[in-house]
Amino acid sequence: MQGKLTVDPANQIAKIDDRVYSALIEHLGRSVYDGLYQPNHPQSDKDGFRQDVIDAVKSLNIDLIRYPGGNFVSGFNWEDSIGPKSTRPTRLDLAWRSIETNQFGLHEFMKWTQKTGTRPDMAVNLGSRGIDAARNLVEYCNFPGGTYWSDLRKQNGAEEPFNIKTWCLGNEMDGDWQIGHKTADEYGRLAHETAKVMRLVDPSIDLVVSGSSTREMATFGSWEETVLDHTYDDVDYLSLHRYYDNEENDLANFLAKSIDFDEFISGIVAVCDAVKARKHSHKTLNLALDEWNVWYHSHKQDGETAPWQQAPHLLEDHYNFEDALMVGTMLITLLKHADRVKIACLAQLVNVIAPIMTDEHGIWLQSIFFPFLQVSKYGRGIALTPQQTATTYDSKDFKDVPCLDSLAVYNSENHEIVIFAENKGNTTMDFQTDLHDLNAQTVIEATQFCGYDIKQTNENQQMALHPNSNVHLSDNTLTASLQPLSWNMFRLHVTH
C-alpha cells in the first residue's frame, strides 16, 4: 500500500491558533468533583485540587478551558458559586439530574486555571436566565472595582479582576433537550442584546455565538443563517459541536467519518461567508469547534444510573485503540481548517468522555491521550496544505476514502517540519514525503502508536508511543513504513 505527501512551505493554510488545543470542563459526573477537586484525596493540594490531574493537564499544553458547560450552564445560577463555601446553596442540576454542591465555584476554577497554565473560556446562561445575569458576571469578573459586583469579587478574595477574554453566549440552544431551548430567531435576538450589554461592561471581550449542536439537526445550516443575521456584527466566533461513534462496529466506516467532519466544517464556513456577503460586511467570522470527540461507550450505563447523586459516574467512556485513531484523524482535519477554526475544545478533559481518568489510586491515561498529546505539543506553527496521494477504499457510507491522512506543520522558530500521518488501512504503507525546497537535515524524532487490538483500552497503562526505526531521509525525501492502523509523527530539522 502506497501513500505520498508533498510539503511546500509556500502553500500555506494558516498559522495554527494555540486555542485549537483547548478543552471543556463541565459540572457533569465526576469531571469536577472526584476529578479536578477532591479535598480528602492524598494527591490533593491545600486547595483540594488533585496534583496528579494538574500535572497531566499541564502535559497536554491546553490553552482555553471552556466552563462550566455544556448543558449544565443553561440551568446554572453563577451567584451560587461565589462567597464562603458554607453559605453556597446545594441545587438540583436538571441537565444531568444530579446534585450540585457548588463547593467548586468561580474562584476555585480561576485558581485551578492558574495552576494548570490554562485560560478561562466562560459560558453564560442564556437558557433559564439572560442579559442581566450575563452582564453582572462580566462586571464581577472583569471590572476593576468601585461597583457592587466588582467590590463583591474583592470581598471574596480576588482584589484584581480576572480579565476573562473569551465568553460563550449559551450552549446548544438549538437542541430541545436544552433548558430554555429557543428558536433561531428567539436565540438570535437574545444573543444580540446580551452581546451588546456584555460589551458595554467590557468592550475588549471576544464572544462566541451558539451554532448547531450536531449536523443531524433538522435546522442545521438554517439555524446558523438566522442566528448570524441577528448577531454577525456582535460576535467573533460561531460555535459548533461534533461527536462520532462506532455503534455499528464498522472500523473502516468509523475512520472514514473524518470526511464527514471535513464537510461539516466546510459547510458551516460557507454559511458564515454567505451571511457576510449578504450583509456587505468586511469582517470574516471564524469558528469555535468547542465540543468534539468520540462519544458512545457509556450510553447504556448512563441510562441505568440512578438520578440525584453527587458526582455520579456519567459519560465515563473507556476509549479503545480505534477511538485513538479516530481522534487522530479528527485532529488532522482540524488543522486542515486552521484558516477558519481558531478555537477547538476537546470534550471533555477529566473522567467525562476524557483523556484523563481518576480513581482512588491515582490517574490513568486513555488511548486518546496520546495523539492529542503529540499534536498539542508539536502542532505549533503554520499548517501546510497537504498535497497527498494514497490507496483508497470504500466503506458503507463513504467512497474513495484515502488510507492515508496526513498534514505537515512548519515551525520556523524551531526550524522544524512536523508531519502527522495516520494509516487507516489493514496493511503496512510505504509512506513518502517530498519536502520540496525545505532542505531537511535530520530526523529529530519518529514515533508510532500501533500494534494494539482495536478494542484494547488502557486501564492497565500498557499503551505508549514507540520509536519508528523504519525511517530514511535522503535528498529532501522522507521515506517510512507506516504500520497497519497506526498513528505516526515525524519531526525534521530544516534550514529553509
215-252: per-residue pLDDT in tens? 999 999 999 999 999 999 999 999 999 999 999 999 99
Cα angle: 291, vertex 249, 391; to 5 degrees: 85
* C-alpha separations of 281 from 49, 186, 188 in Å: 46, 23, 18
According to DSSP, the residues that pair with 494 across neighbouring strands are 440
Residue 14 in this model has a pLDDT that exceeds 90: yes
Contacts with 304 (C-beta within 8 Å, 6 or more apart), sequence order: none
Q: What is the pLDDT of residue 356?
A: 99
- What mean pLDDT do residues 139-168 have? 99
- What mean pLDDT do residues 448-470 have? 97
Please compute, for residue 357, the number of CA atoms within 13 A of its CA located in the half-sphere on the CB side. 20
Strand 486-494 with 440-449, pairing: antiparallel
* Distance from C-alpha of 186 to C-alpha of 118, rounded to nearest angstrom: 33
CB 453 within 8 A of CB 493: no
Please compute, for residue 234, the number of CA atoms within 13 A of its CA located in the half-sphere on the CB side. 24
User: What are phi and psi for residue 338, nearest 5 degrees?
Assistant: -65, -20
| Residue pointed to by grid coordinates 522558530 | 413
- What mean pLDDT do residues 104-116 have? 99
Mean pLDDT of all residues in the chain? Answer: 97
What nine digits make up the cell of 331?
Answer: 485532529
Q: What is the pLDDT of residue 436?
A: 85
Q: What distance separates the 2 farthest-apart alpha carbons in the chain?
A: 69
> Please, what is the angle between helix 106-116 and helix 51-59, to 10°?
60
Amino acid making up residue 249: N
Q: pLDDT band for position 33 (50/70/90)?
A: very high
Tens-digit pLDDT profile for residues 35-94: 999 999 999 999 999 999 999 999 999 999 999 999 999 999 999 999 999 999 999 999
Catalytic residue among 79, 108, 224, 291: 291
- What mean pLDDT do residues 288-316 have? 96
Strand 64-67 with 22-24, pairing: parallel
Q: Specify whether 172 is catalytic.
A: yes
- What mean pLDDT do residues 466-471 have? 95
Contacts with 97 (C-beta within 8 Å, 6 or more apart), sequence order: 307, 308
Tens-digit pLDDT profile for residues 177-190: 999 999 999 999 99
- What mean pLDDT do residues 282-290 have? 97
* Distance from C-alpha of 6 to C-alpha of 87, rounded to nearest angstrom: 61
* Distance from C-alpha of 99 to C-alpha of 73, rounded to nearest angstrom: 14
Q: What is the pLDDT of residue 72?
A: 98
What nine digits make up the cell of 160?
Answer: 484584581
Q: Is the dihedral of CA 388, 389, 391, 397 positive or negative?
A: positive
Catalytic residue among 172, 224, 316, 322: 172
What nine digits make up the cell of 253?
Answer: 466506516
Contacts with 287 (C-beta within 8 Å, 6 or more apart), sequence order: 237, 238, 239, 240, 265, 268, 269, 272, 337, 340, 341, 342, 343
Q: Specify whether 291 is catalytic.
A: yes
- For the chain, give the percent of residues with pLDDT over 90: 98
Domains defined along the chain, listed by start:
4-8+384-494 (2.60.40.1180), 18-378 (3.20.20.80)
- What mean pLDDT do residues 350-371 have? 98
Q: pLDDT band for position 438 (50/70/90)?
A: confident
- For the chain, give the percent of residues with pLDDT over 70: 100
Q: What is the pLDDT of residue 439?
A: 86
What nine digits make up the cell of 139?
Answer: 462586571
